[in-house]
Amino acid sequence: MKLTLAWERYTQKIVLHCSIVTAPMLVSSLVILYIVYANVVTPSCASQELCPASGLINTTSRAFYYIDFPAAQLAFVSSWSATVSFALVGFLMAFASYANAAALLKASEGEEQDDLPTPHQMSVLLRVLNAEMMILWDLATVKVKNVFWHREKEADTVKRSSPILNTSVVVLLVSIVASLLVQVADIYFHIAAEAVQLVQVQEVASISRQYSREIAPWCRDRPENGPLGPKTFWGCAITAQRAANNGTSLAPTNATTIQDMKNSVSDQHETLNFTNANGVQYAVVGPPNADPAEDYKATSFGVSTSCAAIPQGGCEVGPPITNVTDGQGSPVMLVPFSCSKNSSGIDIVGNLTSHNTVTNMLNFHKYASESSPFLSKIMETPDGLSNVDILTRIQNETADEVFRNSWSVLALRKIPFAQQADFERLPKPFRNDTRIWKHDLLGAFALMVCNVTVWDITYVKAGGQITSLTKSLSNGSIAGMTSMPGTRFLGTLANVFQDLSTGPESRSSPSAFIRAFEIGMSKAYSFPLASQLSSRASLAAQVRSSKVVTRLPVAALWTLVVANVGFAALGLGLAIWAMRLASPDVHQTQMRLGVAGLAAALFDREKFEQSANADDALFAEKSGNEGVDVKRIGFKRTETGGSTFAVYDARFRFAEAKEMRKRYFSSIVG
């Protein structure tokens, strides 16, 4: 029965030790893996076409995990296994003690006594089994001395070394190496894990982002003939009402929107710029004050303008005409000019003026046109057609037949930083460029033929900029609400063309000056267009937000996990090894391969040689008899100058003390 109990006890002990070794490593690995994979962040866009440029979103790599978990806490969890790994080496050596016990029994009872350790080797063996790290230093120094100083042969050294001791040393070395691998993996984990700013993208409902633009209800539902004037003739952007003397009063519809957009204070729309790969510039009507952290895809409308400058000499210029006033009664200087298609690309005759910016629109309407440039502001109609005839005809025509898309504009734009008749002070690029006209009375200016087109736009805005744009030609209704307010006889955009084409870039070269005028004209035409638009849901939208996350190399995580699992596997392997070699006899021997066994052999020999089921059972003092210690261990000096253990029998003194206490209490009672 005792042997059965002993067998059960040492089996439980091996299983307990195996659990102590493997559980911390496996639990630590599982916890760190759970934290990583439960909080891993995959930086990606809701839609690939909404992804902004690399400067606004992280450039990530599959070699890293991005974890929404504090780096310090993650490092703390990862250090669990490294914290206990060295302490667990002692448990690994406990498994080795069973193998040593079995080997010692086999060698002692067989013919392999030469494999048994010497007394010194037994002391080394006990220190190795006790996982003393310094014993490795002692063994290493002895080995070095034997090889390099005493010149002993390797074969002789091996012959004198017990295989049982060698096995224990190998197990200790492997255990320490396995522990060091865990330590190194943990250090690598700590160094490699770092907190970084990660841009995360979250898809949002497109209905919540009213970034697209469509024709507003007041324009779409405007009657063809009503108090605002014939829609097919004037378009939505013009309100034509009867005035005194049977005349017609013309005004832009929603003029406040146009003014607000000119002053960049509109809370309804904003003009967005885009330049395609061919250098064509577009002014797109978009939402105002959109958050740069929001990316979206939307539909809208846009205007593009391309201008070509007529070189000086491309048109004939006549003598100046003086004593002339404009429509406001202000004196103006006129210089007659005549251009032919062969020399300038356009057949037109008119008068150059001293105004800073003037335009003359061509081919924008079937029944309306501007008077010859650039003085008169009268609207002209085709010869032979009365107003009644025109109104009758447009009843049976569509907006596509009446309004033209695209149309041409002849524009005169003065060089605002030039001084009158002092052309040497012009910036050097402007002095000798034939695209810049120099006239003693009118100053320096550019005469340009521009082509204006209105487009239905689908665009993507990411990172605060339009990143892609697709277009198709807009219909006549859209073209009409864009072109009509720009006519000279209305004058709605006269100053806008000028104000939007200035700036430092326009002063760098004639080409930059022309490009500035192109985008300025596109923006100006987009204002009345925007005044007839309303918002609607975008096609797609996402929000970017920056968050501090932990960036962890994949190699760092799995190096730690493999090191932990490897340590646990070593413990499991040694436990299985111990289980296979363990037996009641081996258990009896294994208990004596330690400090407890050595102390019992020295001081309690009789009890030491008896069967025991635990280390404590090797000592008589733990047998439970009378509950007193019967021996005391001390030291005494020897005549040779050393010292030795001394065993003192305390039974007599304890009995005498007991008798004295008995007499003392008897005298008190008596």
b/e string for 344-365 if b means 16 or more Cβ within 10 A?
Answer: bebebebbbbbbbbbbbbbebb
d(CA 164, CA 113): 11
d(CA 231, CA 485): 14
pLDDT of residue 562: 96
DSSP 441: T
d(CA 159, CA 650): 47
pLDDT of residue 553: 94
* Cβ contact 531:219 at 8 Å: no
What stretches of 86-132 show up as alpha helix (H) in DSSP?
A: 89-109, 119-129
pLDDT of residue 1: 36
DSSP 227: T
Spans of all domains in the chain: 2-195+548-593, 289-526, 614-670
If DSSP codes are grouped into helix, strand and coil, which group holds residue 471? Answer: strand
Counted residue by residue, the chain has a size of 670
pLDDT of residue 3: 40
**Nearest CA-CA partner of 107 in 93, 123, 120, 118:** 118
SS (H, E, C) 143-189: HHHHHHHCCCCHHHHHHHCCHHHHHHHHHHHHHHHHHHHHHHHHHHH
What separation, in Å, do the N-terminal and C-terminal C-alpha atoms of the chain show?
A: 51
CA atoms within 13 A on the CB side of 637: 3
pLDDT of residue 514: 94
pLDDT of residue 57: 66
- Give phi and psi for 566, each to the nearest 5: -65, -40
Amino acid, single-letter form, for residue 490: L
What stretches of 193-330 show up as alpha helix (H) in DSSP?
A: 217-220, 231-234, 255-262
Token pair 């447009």 is found at 394
Mean pLDDT by groups of 10 residues along the chain of 670 residues: 50 88 94 94 74 65 89 92 90 85 82 78 80 77 70 52 85 92 95 88 88 94 83 90 74 91 93 94 95 92 96 91 76 89 90 89 93 87 87 91 94 80 81 90 91 96 90 96 90 82 82 93 95 94 88 94 95 90 79 76 74 74 60 83 78 60 62
Tell me the two tokens of residue 357. 């910016």
Cis peptide before 64 (omega within 30 of 0): no
* Cβ contact 131:90 at 8 Å: yes
* DSSP letter for each residue of 259-295: HHHHTT--SS-EEEEEE-TT--EEEEEE-TT--TTEE
Give the number of other Cβ atoms within 10 Å of residue 432's Cβ: 9
Q: Which helix (H) or strand (E) holds 358?
A: strand 357-362
pTM listed for this prediction:
0.70
List, in order, residues 6 or more apart from 251 with CB less than 8 Å away: 238, 239, 241
